Structure 1
């Protein structure tokens, strides 16, 4: 039983059957239209964001499995802000604003790929990304929120999300 793995990065809900994916799927004798439709369906909730996708194919039986990864922190934050792309000059040019709740939700979404053990650490990491791409959070510089989080100013808000972070949402 020979398996082939295809790893691609796609725009959520907007995969086309053309190169490079189409020819690769054709070589494996898969129905290109069917696979593309399944990828688009599986990534529809990430419309407009770049998403990693893995297709595992059993070349003997032509059965395949599609696994959708998590979009980048940048993509998730830009979508929450409604921004087109990151700022080329985040210190002087802001591209949007998100709420602290948005940052916490992105932190929880990204948990599997973050090294943070605690929610606070994950939030500070996502705030770093927000700063780098030119976003403000609750109309403040993300760096100032990191300091305020370390001081415990947002403990009450963060505590509301701890169960969700731990995977035991109430």
Structure 2
């Protein structure tokens, strides 16, 4: 079956039925309004975040499948912090504070896309991103927290999420 893949990045739950998506969908003979509504439904949990979406279209039957990717680590962290954008100067200007458990949640959500083999390694990677965009975690520098994670101070908390990590696809 001849298929065409359309890869786009959309704002979760807020796709508009205009260019650049509409002309592409029209050329394939698809109902633009219907496809846009389905993409919005599929991405609604990521409101306000940039989300990668792949549309697999069977060019003969006009059937299509929407595959929603995972927002960027930066988008997820900013969402937890209720911040609109990363800091241009993370060493001196902080844009928000999130909980350590938010870091764990992001690590679990991003498991399919990160190379970390353990939840602890994934959390340290996410802490690095939090630091680079100007977030603090539990009012502390994420850089400091990487050391405390290495020292085992968060092992009990991480153990609570180990099963969720193991169940996450990746």
TM-score w.r.t. the length of structure 1 is 0.98
CA distance in 1, matches of 2:4, 2:165: 34
Is 2:60 the counterpart of 1:56? no
CA distance in 2, matches of 1:119, 1:2: 40
Structure 1 segments (4+ residues) deviating >6 Å: none
1:17 Cα deviation after fit? 0.9
1:139 equivalent in structure 2: 139
Query: What RMSD in Å do the two structures reach over aligned CA positions?
Result: 0.8
Q: How many residues align?
A: 168
1:155 equivalent in structure 2: 155
Residues 41-84 of structure 1 deviation map (CA, whole Å, 9 limit, x = unaligned) = 00000000000000000000000000000000000000000001
1:93 equivalent in structure 2: 93
1:2 Cα deviation after fit? 1.2
1:124 Cα deviation after fit? 0.2
CA distance in 1, matches of 2:65, 2:32: 14
CA distance in 2, matches of 1:29, 1:165: 41
Kindly report which structure 2 residues correspond to 1:2-41, keeping only aligned pairs within 5 A, or say none: 2-41=2-41
Q: Structure 1 unaligned runs (5+)? A: none
1:164 equivalent in structure 2: 164
CA distance in 2, matches of 1:145, 1:153: 9
1:113 equivalent in structure 2: 113
Q: Structure 2 unaligned runs (5+)? A: none
CA distance in 2, matches of 1:167, 1:29: 39
TM-score w.r.t. the length of structure 2 is 0.98
CA distance in 1, matches of 2:105, 2:62: 38
CA distance in 2, matches of 1:46, 1:135: 20
CA distance in 1, matches of 2:5, 2:115: 26
CA distance in 2, matches of 1:167, 1:5: 28
2:74 equivalent in structure 1: 74
State the SS of the aligned residue for 1:166: helix
